[in-house]
Structure 1
Amino acid sequence: MNNLIGVGVYTPAEAGRLLHIRPAKISRWLRGHRIKKQNYPSLWTPEVNLGDEHVFLGFRDLMEVRVADAFIRAGVSAQRVRAAIILARDVIGQERPLSTNRFRTDGREIFVSVIETGEDGKERERLLNLFKRQYEFKGIIEPILKTVDFGDDGNPLLWWPSGRRMNVVVDPSRAFGQPIEAASSVPTVILAAAARQEGVSGAARAYAVPEAAIRRAIEFEASLEHGLAA
């Protein structure tokens, strides 16, 4: 069994609720599947293994699924995403390369950021097309991971699923990676449930948080339910 401290633990249903992705799709990506006589292997091995046949995700898996889905929504095929993961492992040297801060896409190709030192000693960022194996300098959109805080090593640390304005964060080191009110670390699902029972003012007093935090938790949880229904 993995050491789960600081990893976060999510079922496909929990991950799907947060990411607005069908849980069955997440399970297929992480378990692999078969269509007719064609086998499709898993995109990667989840970082959480509880010793049974069920699929669980860690925080890095959550971020990896988010980016893979974003690429596919941008028009990149699932097959090319799978190929990009394999190629990027060699370039970046990480098992879950999509969740780092080094990827770009223009809707057709997938690029990885490479830092090179020129003859003048200055470092420059170049974008390596993983399929053409050459450098590209134009037609690149903004980085996908705008709501993620990264460490100095380029790996994801925190995710602000509704943007920083909402002040709701997913932090694998707190509350097992469940969405929390950033200042108090109380899970948003608990704050929203308390508001239903005690009202906004009562919930704020009970958990010693501002009433604005309760309202944001209610709004965030409602957005998850809306996304799941959609």
Structure 2
Amino acid sequence: MATLVSERTDQPWLRRLYLPSYQIAEAAKYADISPQTVAAWHRLEKHFLEKEDKAALSYMQLIEVAVVAAFRKMGVPLKNIRATRDYAKHHLKSEYPFATFRFKEGAKHLYLDSHELEDVAPGSVVQTDQGGQLAWEIVIGRLREFDYEKEHEGLALKWHVAGRSSPIIIDPRIAFGAPAVKGTPTWIIRGRWDAGESYSDIAEDFGIVSTDVKEALKFEGVVPGGRRKSLVH
């Protein structure tokens, strides 16, 4: 099965899409889902690394985990999510269908059996663009955090990981794919804060505003207001 963007390229950031870069705990934090769910999905997908204690996800796998998280919040079991992914993978001819705009466009053609969703009458079938519209909106809402770029075959290459209102993004072309504010990784901002520097000093050094510094620190969990730890398994 061919990938959407060739791994053999002279552009380092394109190659980086497929390199293991994100630990399971990091992926869980970014996708707002439990590490157990990420690990379980990691084990299900044979293209993930074999040794879980050293397992790491590529950017493409990270984006797919975010879609898995949206499905899990709908109450869809992992085995059914995998069946959906396998269906999309086959029809879209993509190794990572959840990371492409074509999946978002084609999702209305996917069907979910009643046992895949909570609060659905046994024996019924939910069509995502009709009876299942409300449930599907949860997934679509999650996918609105991504910017899909047509010039790169519809890949989700910019993730507004803390929501559209936040300045924090994950972009494989910037800061080696680390969560960043205008090019500055949030972990660097946290390091400066831990060293005792003020909002204004950090902001001035990196050419950002104090509110951006505060948002980075929220994301890093050192000041109140960041995402709650997910209880979804």
| Structure-2-length-normalised TM-score | 0.71
1:128 aligns with 2:109: yes
Mapping 1:1-230, distance limit 5 Å: 5=13, 6-7=16-17, 9-31=21-43, 42-46=44-48, 54-103=54-103, 113=106, 127-130=108-111, 137-139=129-131, 140=133, 141-142=136-137, 143=140, 144-152=142-150, 153-181=153-181, 183=182, 185-196=183-194, 197-222=196-221, 227-228=228-229
Mapped contact 1:44–1:96 kept (Cα < 8 A): no
- Is there any run of 5+ residues in structure 1 with no aligned partner, and where? 32-41, 105-111, 115-126
User: Relative contact order: is structure 1 or structure 2 higher (C-alpha 8 Å, sep ≥ 6)?
Assistant: 2
What amino acid sits opposite 1:43 in the alignment?
Answer: E
- Is there any run of 5+ residues in structure 2 with no aligned partner, and where? 1-6, 114-126
Figure out how many residues of one structure are paired with residues of the other and give that number.
Answer: 196
More moved, 214-223 vs 88-97: 214-223
User: 1:26 and 1:226 mapped to 2: Cα distance?
Assistant: 17
Aligned-residue CA RMSD (Å): 3.3
| Structure-1-length-normalised TM-score | 0.71
CA apart distance, 1:62: 0.8
Mapped contact 1:87–1:130 kept (Cα < 8 A): no
Mapped contact 2:112–2:128 kept (Cα < 8 A): no
Distance 1:44 1:74, change over 3 A: farther
| Higher fraction of helix | 2
